[in-house]
A and B are shown apart, each in its own frame.
Chain A
Amino acid sequence: MNEALASLFDNCAAAPGALGCGLRLPDRTSRVRSFHADCPNESLEKMMLHLASASALLASHDLAGQRVAWTFANGKLFVTSRPDGALFCLITQARTDAGEFFDRLAAQFAVTT
């Protein structure tokens, strides 16, 4: 992982209620980091795969967003994508409000190579 991506992941750790984060790069490889035992790396890898197909689905309906949030009873997935197909996701606990924090991470992701 290059320095810029490592810095992005380091910043994710400070998000309110952070459980994990992940990146899917244009070459379809993934990078993930877990911040909680309930979110092991293998599960995060699998999640990134599903998020990639979900994001493609939304994009096909013109619903790709600067912030896409999947809210579950126990967790929340914040997702953003770039025109080159790269995808960035932050997983947090459900009852924390990390939206604005994620927006700052998304801005960093947008310019990270």
Chain B
Amino acid sequence: MTDPKSQPQILFVDDEPDFLRVVTETFTDLSEGRWQMHRAHSADAALEILKRQKIDLVVVDINMPLLDGVQLLRILNRRHPDLKKVTLTGFASEVKRNECLANGAELFIEKPRTAQGFKSIFLMLEELVTWTPKKGFQGMLRQVGLNDVIQMECLGRNSSILEIKNQRVHGRVFIENGDIIHATCGEEQGERAFQKLLSAAGGEFKLHPFEAPGVRTIEGSWEFLLMEAARVSDELASQAPAEAGPAEAEIPAAEPAAEELPDVVVAETLICSPKGEVFYAASCADTLARVALLQTISQQAALLAQSLPLGKFERLEILQPTNRVVAQISPDHLVFVRVASLIPPA
């Protein structure tokens, strides 16, 4: 039996009783009982629950009578600054979204209308609830990785500007409706700037409301951009001289963008060492099997490279009717990512 003390405590605030019932039942099922769900029909009721119960994540409906979601966010931000907050709405608008982000919401999500939609949101919330807040990041997004933040923004089809800053780089990534459309890093623009920003180890990042950049310098799917940035980052790490940091190294030209996959979700992720030590796993039904698969892919690639003068193995990509899989093999880590299309094949 699950220990209630170790269960994530999730509070849903919505004035629609039917939606509240459906969402709590669905997420209880999807979490297989791991989530402890709490419901509040109003902002007042939510504040009462928060007085007597430790909550890890609160999901707030924007459109509520009397005290609306944005007003509730303001109060929560003041009284419970460490509480993770997500806003849910049936009528998304950029104005509301910017207002919510400015008032401490980690995510701004449209209400799901399909079973797949509920599942996508569940996966996003599960990622969020398992993140550990970092101290000293007050006023900033409290996530553990830049990739994670970008992924969340893109999965949520959000529009925002992500500012990234450390001693070596300072730049911004523009995300519009879940697409990465522009990036700047010093005088660089486009994919090279994006790759430089993602190569930067450490630093701070901050989410700002979206403003149109006036120019679009990036095309292609965000999954491909993230994978490509990871590949470039790996190459820079292995090629750059010890005294030169990744930001100064030459960025290889990116390959042409992969085909756009509409309405996709990252369905499975695994990162492990070549010896099989798991660094990170998300939604892997059988982690050991995936680790074994990655190790065997690495061996098979070595055999192929013995047959022909192919050089160093970089990655394996598998295109299926509803899935796209990328397995990346590096000397110090192996990565498996499966992206699933939410739209059934024609």
Interface residues of A (CB under 8 A from B): 38-39, 43-44, 46-47, 50-51, 53-54, 57-58, 61, 63-75, 77, 91, 94-95, 97
How many pairs of A and B residues are in contact by the CB < 8 Å rule? 88
Majority secondary structure, A binding face: mixed
B contacts with A, residue count (CB < 8 A): 27
**Alpha-carbon distance between A54 and B298 when the two chains are bound, in angstroms:** 10
Interface centre among A57, A67, A71, A95 (most CB of B within 10 A): A71
**Assuming A61-B293, A65-B319, A71-B316, is B309 touching A38 (CB within 8 A)?**
yes
Closest to B289 in A: A61
Contact A65 B320 (CB under 8 A): yes
15 residue pairs of the A-B complex, CB under 8 angstroms, read A46-B307, A58-B318, A63-B318, A63-B325, A65-B320, A68-B317, A69-B317, A69-B319, A70-B316, A71-B317, A72-B301, A72-B311, A73-B311, A74-B310, A97-B255
Q: Which residue of the partner chain, among B255, B289, B325, contacts A95 with CB atoms under 8 Å?
A: B255
B window 312-334: CB within 8 A of A:
312-321, 325
**Assuming A57-B296, A65-B318, A71-B315, is B308 touching A39 (CB within 8 A)?**
yes
Closest to B324 in A: A65
**Alpha-carbon distance between A72 and B325 when the two chains are bound, in angstroms:** 17
List, in ascending order, chain A residues with CB within 8 A of B289's CB.
61
List, in ascending order, chain B residues with CB within 8 A of A44's CB.
307-308
Question: Can you list, as one digit per residue, whether each of B146-174 has a CB less than 8 Å from chain A (1) or not (0)?
Answer: 00000000000000000000000000000
Interface residues of B (CB under 8 A from A): 255-256, 289, 293, 296-297, 300-301, 303-305, 307-321, 325
**Alpha-carbon distance between A73 and B301 when the two chains are bound, in angstroms:** 12
**Assuming A47-B304, A50-B303, A54-B300, is B318 touching A68 (CB within 8 A)?**
yes
Taking the closest CB of chain B, its distance from the CB of A17, in whole angstroms, is 13
Majority secondary structure, B binding face: mixed
List, in ascending order, chain B residues with CB within 8 A of A69's CB.
316-319
List, in ascending order, chain B residues with CB within 8 A of A50's CB.
300, 303-304, 307
**Alpha-carbon distance between A47 and B300 when the two chains are bound, in angstroms:** 10
List, in ascending order, chain B residues with CB within 8 A of A51's CB.
304
**Alpha-carbon distance between A6 and B305 when the two chains are bound, in angstroms:** 27
Contact A72 B305 (CB under 8 A): yes
Taking the closest CB of chain B, its distance from the CB of A83, in whole angstroms, is 14
The 8 A-B pairs at the shortest CB distance, nearest first, are namely A73-B311, A72-B310, A74-B311, A65-B318, A47-B307, A54-B300, A67-B319, A75-B310
Closest to A54 in B: B300
Closest to B302 in A: A50
Taking the closest CB of chain A, its distance from the CB of B341, in whole angstroms, is 13
Contact B301 A70 (CB under 8 A): yes
**Alpha-carbon distance between A96 and B88 when the two chains are bound, in angstroms:** 44
Contact A53 B300 (CB under 8 A): yes
Contact B256 A97 (CB under 8 A): yes
**Alpha-carbon distance between A69 and B316 when the two chains are bound, in angstroms:** 6
Contact A75 B255 (CB under 8 A): no
List, in ascending order, chain A residues with CB within 8 A of B314's CB.
71-73
Taking the closest CB of chain A, its distance from the CB of B314, in whole angstroms, is 5
Taking the closest CB of chain B, its distance from the CB of A90, in whole angstroms, is 13
Contact B308 A47 (CB under 8 A): yes
**Alpha-carbon distance between A68 and B324 when the two chains are bound, in angstroms:** 10
List, in ascending order, chain B residues with CB within 8 A of A75's CB.
308-311
**Alpha-carbon distance between A42 and B170 when the two chains are bound, in angstroms:** 52
Contact B307 A73 (CB under 8 A): no
**Alpha-carbon distance between A36 and B133 when the two chains are bound, in angstroms:** 55
Contact A43 B304 (CB under 8 A): no
Closest to A46 in B: B307
